[in-house]
Amino acid sequence: MMFNTLGFLVFFPIVIAIYFIIPKKVRVYWLLIASYYFYMSWNVGYGTLLFASTFTTYLGGLIISKVRNKPGKVTALIVTLLCNFGMLFVFKYFGFFTDVVIRISESFGVTLKAPEFSLLLPMGISFFTFQAVSYTIDVYRDESVCEKHFFKYALFVSFFPQLVAGPIERSGNLLKQIKDCANIKLWNARRVYEGAILMLYGYILKMIISDRAKLFVDKVYDLDGYAAYTGLIPIIATILFAIQIYCDFAGYTYIAMGAAKVMGFQLMDNFNTPYFATSITDFWARWHISLTNWFRDYVYIPLGGNRKGKLRKYINIFVVFTLSGLWHGASYTFVFWGVLHGILRIVDEASAKVRDKVFKFFGARENFSYRLFRVMGTFIFVCLAWVFFRARHMDQALDIIRNMWHWNPWVLHDGTIFNFGLDAKEWNVMFAALAFLTIMDCFKYKKKDLLPKVAEQGWIFKGLVLVVGILAVVIFGIYGPQYDAASFIYFQF
Amino acid sequence: MKKVFKFFKIILILALLVFLLIRLNYVLRDKEYASVQDNFANLEKDSVDIVFVGASHCFCSIDPYMIKEKTGKEVFVLSTSAQTVPESYYAVMEAIEIQHPKTIYMEVQYCVNDFTIVMPHSFFDGMPNCKAKYLGIKDLIPKDEQSSFYINLGAYHTRWKNLKEKDYQSNLTAPMGEYVSNDVIYQQPFPIVPMEETEQMPEISRKYLDRIIELCRENDVELVLFCAPYGMLYVDEDQEKLLCSQQKILNSIYDIAEENGLEYYDMFHEMDKIGIDEATDWKDTQHFNASGQQKFTAYMLKKGYIR
């Protein structure tokens, strides 16, 4: 079930109400039942995969902790990884892989036929697989204690607020909290309020900004006549997609963090004002932090990280970003998006010294305008890469980028801009919401996050913030019968 | 004491939120369509003697004030735009549940169609919370859309762009469900099919018409069927064929009425006697304007079809 559906708005209060009144000892079981219900409401069969991933990684962890000799540990780890990544491969990458094989064989004059079967991509499979696998690897590395209580571990893998779109939690954080679940002081008004405010902020990002931006983006990117749109139209659509995907994913994260917080759990933050990044390296330290950390800890560092010379470091970066692209989706556009970021990241790294010299030569200093210039430059690169992420195929992405080089500023004032799903009033709401988002992110950038500050205010102010926020979502949110509740984009990964 | 105060604060905020949401629901709702049902919901229980149901042909033909004046009975026109026969079934159920009138008059023009529902929000949104509403939504609305019929904000929240002064006002128009139009068009002459020529009614309409008859019988409510005349949407051969086919279906209702011991008045056959003037009495090709409505209602009263 989606966070922005009526189903969740009924499900969540019921889960909370029961969670608050049942005995401490059964809290874990209740949350586990709720999490499986949450996940299986999409497709009952999905539950089997979730269970399979949970069971194999649990068993892997148990065996690794029991076996004394290293070969035994390694074997257990490899089998666990094969089981989980194998499942991920079959359900997510098999179609893409066969397509690649067929294309390669065709280039050698051999015609192969793809097997005719299709599997429904389970929601969030990449998220829970990565989370579960990280636990087994941590146990293997002695960085985490093996969890013997199966149900507590199962809740760690399936915890519903972050199950289908992260953050990809580590056992050191979430599993530890689940183990202490019985000791959580449930009725802490301030914590519950903070959770509610986080959720509300997430709904504002998702329903007011992201889904509104989506209306414009889809009109440009999803129509077969996209090639007719030139100049500012594809540029605006791409900028709006950058906003859409950020508000969609960050919105989901805030709802997840808020829902968890209401229940007394602290999830990690997944975003830290990514569009204020001053370089691609900085961007990846701020965007989808839990995934970046995962790749760093389980791919980049094992490959040698930056310990084996510059060339090896660049290769490692390239491998990590290519895999990151593949993680986002089984298609050439996602892979290319990852490759592009890898290249930009390497260029960023390699050119740092030269760049600094150039800036020094021109007298640029670490002041606001210098940072603004870098922020804008990074944002442009990120947006260009988003074109590949959003496009349906490579040809479309290239066409769209090509079409951007066209001078037509009049589309801003001759009414053309209002022909893409957003009329003048919708644009006003969009600008107001973006101004709000920018203010919030500015405070967060300065490490003075406003959301926790609200919880410190008097009860009338706090109450009014909640009421006004809910009314804003109800009135200006994009939802309703004519509207197919837009999927959170990251669910498909 | 501190705990009580904490609890009180939460209740106060929730109460404010609920109040504002209810008010918002009212402001955002499309008054044009919902006010008839709203007015019916606001009537004193069991205070209405006669209820009219049916589509726009019904409210364009019936002047409830004239009926009240001539008969001394309390009247309400519970007809809504494009009210299909299945919807009329739930309107009849609602009328019986809330007012239990002595007589229900059903305008049957929509029996010619095979529609389940056309404008669901105009019908259900103003309906008070009653069994008929619950059963109607469950029966006629696709499952994934049902929630927006219980919580209307889902359907209407985008109206913030079109709000006008009247959306904030509480005084509803049409206290007796009346509708009056002063528009005038010239109605092209249209054919009248003899009463003997009949055609079978579409399945859905027939099924729900039978259910309406049964429902009224079970609840001891008199049911009277009637049809207000209407012309062709466009003057061409296809439209003429369509109108003739529809009139044949309407003619077939005589047999249904006879089988069930009901009165049925197909006013296509009494057009001349009503005195409808093609130059002054139509608001569009399908509906009477104020003048046509006056003539039609007066004739129905004079002949004792409405009593």
Report the phi/psi class of residue A277: left, alpha or beta, with left for phi > 0 and alpha for psi in -120 to 50: beta
Mutate which: B161, B162, B163, B167, vs A, most A CBs within 10 A:
B161
- Over residues A397-415, the mean pLDDT reads 90
- Report the range out of A103-117, A404-418, A428-442 with the highest average pLDDT: A428-442
Q: Is the pLDDT of residue A492 over 50?
A: no
Please tell me which of the candidates B21, B148, B160 has its beta carbon nearest to residue A481. Answer: B148
Tokens standing for residue B135: 């059963």
b/e burial code for range B42-76 (CB count within 10 A of at least 16 → b): ebeeeebbbbbbbbbbbbbbbbbebbbeeeebbbb
Tokens standing for residue A258: 């808020």
Determine the pLDDT at residue B208. Answer: 95
In whole angstroms, what is the distance from residue A323 CA to residue A338 CA? 7
What is the nearest CA distance from B148 to chain A, expressed in angstroms? 7
Determine the pLDDT at residue A117. Answer: 64
Phi and psi torsions of B264, nearest 5°: -140, 130
Give a yes or no: residue A23 inside a domain.
Answer: no
Per the annotation, the verdict on A328 as an active-site residue is yes
Residues of B in contact with A470 (CB under 8 A): 17
User: Is residue A378 within 8 Å of residue A369, measured between CB atoms?
Assistant: no
Determine the pLDDT at residue A480. Answer: 72
What is the nearest CA distance from A33 to chain B, expressed in angstroms? 25
In whole angstroms, what is the distance from residue A22 CA to residue A31 CA? 11
Give a yes or no: residue A210 inside a domain.
Answer: yes
Q: Does B153 touch chain A (CB under 8 A)?
A: yes
Same domain, yes or no, for A247 and A353? yes
Q: What is the mean pLDDT of chain B?
A: 88
Residues of B in contact with A474 (CB under 8 A): 21, 24, 153, 157
The last residue of one of the domains, among A183, A208, A233, is A183
Can you tell me which residue has the tokens 């805030």? A254
Same domain, yes or no, for A157 and A222? no
In whole angstroms, what is the distance from residue B192 CA to residue B209 CA? 24
Helix, coil or strand: residue A385: helix
Give a yes or no: residue A72 inside a domain.
Answer: yes
Residues of B in contact with A480 (CB under 8 A): 148, 154-155, 157-158
Same domain, yes or no, for A210 and A306? yes
Cβ–Cβ contacts within 10 Å for residue A96, how many? 17
Residues of B in contact with A426 (CB under 8 A): 161
Same domain, yes or no, for A166 and A247? no
Same domain, yes or no, for A40 and A154? yes
The last residue of one of the domains, among A132, A164, A183, is A183
Q: Is the pLDDT of residue A491 over 80?
A: no
Determine the pLDDT at residue A118. Answer: 66
Same domain, yes or no, for A227 and A142? no
When pLDDT is cut at 50, 70 and 90, the band that residue A484 belongs to is very low
Determine the pLDDT at residue A79. Answer: 95
- Over residues A318-327, the mean pLDDT reads 94
Determine the pLDDT at residue A4. Answer: 84
Q: Does B119 touch chain A (CB under 8 A)?
A: no
Which residues fall within 8 angstroms of residue A164, CB to CB, at 6 or more apart? A39, A123, A124, A127, A128, A488, A491
Q: Does B9 touch chain A (CB under 8 A)?
A: yes
Minimal CA–CA distance to B283: which of B272, B296, B270? Answer: B296
Mutate which: A6, A11, A460, vs B, most B CBs within 10 A:
A6
- Over residues A363-371, the mean pLDDT reads 79
ipTM above 0.90, yes or no: no
Same domain, yes or no, for A297 and A389? yes
Which residues fall within 8 angstroms of residue A455, CB to CB, at 6 or more apart? A190, A193, A194, A197, A462
Give burial (CB, 10 Å; 0-12/13-18/19+) of A218.
middle
Give a yes or no: residue A103 inside a domain.
Answer: yes
Same domain, yes or no, for A179 and A196? no
Q: Does B158 touch chain A (CB under 8 A)?
A: yes
Cβ–Cβ contacts within 10 Å for residue A365, how many? 8
Determine the pLDDT at residue A485. Answer: 38
Phi and psi torsions of B222, nearest 5°: -70, 135
Give a yes or no: residue A219 inside a domain.
Answer: yes
Residues of A in contact with B27 (CB under 8 A): none
Tens-digit pLDDT profile for residues A122-137? 888 999 999 999 999 9
The last residue of one of the domains, among A138, A166, A183, is A183
What residues in chain B have per-residue pLDDT under 50?
Answer: none
A149, A328, A341, A393: which is the annotated catalytic residue?
A328
Q: Is the pLDDT of residue A490 over 60?
A: no
Tens-digit pLDDT profile for residues A227-282? 788 889 999 999 999 999 999 999 999 999 999 999 999 999 999 999 999 999 99
Tens-digit pLDDT profile for residues A60-110? 999 999 988 888 999 999 999 999 999 999 888 888 888 888 888 888 888
Determine the pLDDT at residue A481. Answer: 59
**Global pTM exceeds 0.90:** no
pLDDT greater at residue B178 or residue A378: A378
DSSP A175: I
Determine the pLDDT at residue A28. Answer: 93
Determine the pLDDT at residue B168. Answer: 83
Check B6 against A470: CB less than 8 A apart: no
Residues of A in contact with B26 (CB under 8 A): none
- The three-state DSSP-derived secondary structure of B81-98 is CCCCHHHHHHHHHHHHHH
Phi and psi torsions of A453, nearest 5°: -65, -35
In whole angstroms, what is the distance from residue A270 CA to residue A257 CA? 10
Rg for chain B (alpha carbons), in Å? 21
Check A425 against B147: CB less than 8 A apart: no
Q: Is the pLDDT of residue A409 over 50?
A: yes
Give the number of domains in chain A: 2
Please tell me which of the candidates B17, B21, B145 has its beta carbon nearest to residue A481. Answer: B145
Domains of chain B: 32-302 (3.40.50.1110)
Determine the pLDDT at residue B262. Answer: 93
Q: Which string of DSSP letters, residue by residue, matches A320-367?
A: HHHHHHHHH-SSHHHHHHHHHHHHHHHHHHHTHHHHHHHHHHTT--SS
Give a yes or no: residue A276 inside a domain.
Answer: yes
pLDDT greater at residue A484 or residue B250: B250
Please tell me which of the candidates B17, B145, B160 has its beta carbon nearest to residue A475. Answer: B160
Determine the pLDDT at residue A487. Answer: 39
Check B157 against A6: CB less than 8 A apart: no
DSSP B186: P
Give a yes or no: residue A441 inside a domain.
Answer: yes
Q: What is the mean pLDDT of chain A?
A: 89
Determine the pLDDT at residue A488. Answer: 41
Determine the pLDDT at residue B3. Answer: 75
Tokens standing for residue A360: 């020094």
Same domain, yes or no, for A72 and A204? no
Same domain, yes or no, for A221 and A360? yes
Same domain, yes or no, for A303 and A154? no
Tens-digit pLDDT profile for residues A185-211? 877 888 999 999 999 999 999 999 999
Q: Which domain holds residue A214?
A: 191-492
Alpha helices in A273-331, H assignment, sequence order: 280-286, 289-295, 310-328
Tens-digit pLDDT profile for residues A49-63? 999 999 999 999 999
Give a yes or no: residue A146 inside a domain.
Answer: yes
Same domain, yes or no, for A154 and A201? no
Percent of chain A with pLDDT over 90: 63
pLDDT greater at residue A146 or residue A362: A146
Strands of the sheet containing B222-227, edge to edge, are B75-77, B50-53, B103-107, B222-227, B263-266
Determine the pLDDT at residue B142. Answer: 84
